[in-house]
Structure 1
Amino acid sequence: DEKWGEAVKAVVVTQPGATVTADELTGFCAERLDRLKKPRSVDFVAELPHNRNGKLDRKAVREPYWADTARRVN
């Protein structure tokens, strides 16, 4: 986002054998979420990082997207 420097992005792990496209996911979200909560883009990854307690490591998920910027979201 040019104004705030951030936008909603979906980082998705699919089940083995599942086929889904970024357009299908954003369409699904558009039908169910407010337009401000709908992801502008979707990235597919093999797995999501977890901390030593087994919880999703949100900071590690965000890190690659903030690598080239001075401003970061906590």
Structure 2
Amino acid sequence: EHFLPAGPFATLPLKSDKDGTHRSSIVWVERSEDAEKLVDGDDLVFEHELEQRFGLKLGEIRVADRPRAWPLG
């Protein structure tokens, strides 16, 4: 978990796939305008932004599902 200027960023481990691929869910608080760009953008850009915030501590990052956003307040 990281505490960034816009808010928390955390990875939550999930059950691995049948092929052994490790999976995580992400909780990422971001400014509304930045969140919209990330959710509506390209998967490669999203993966790059994840790597910028989290690094490669757990290995290669690949988006398995489209990101979603919900307003907080």
Say yes or no: TM over 0.5: no
Q: Which has the higher strand share?
A: 2
State the TM-score, normalized to the length of structure 2.
Answer: 0.31
State the TM-score, normalized to the length of structure 1.
Answer: 0.31
Larger Rg: 1
Which structure is higher in RCO with an 8 Å CA cutoff and minimum separation 6?
Answer: 1
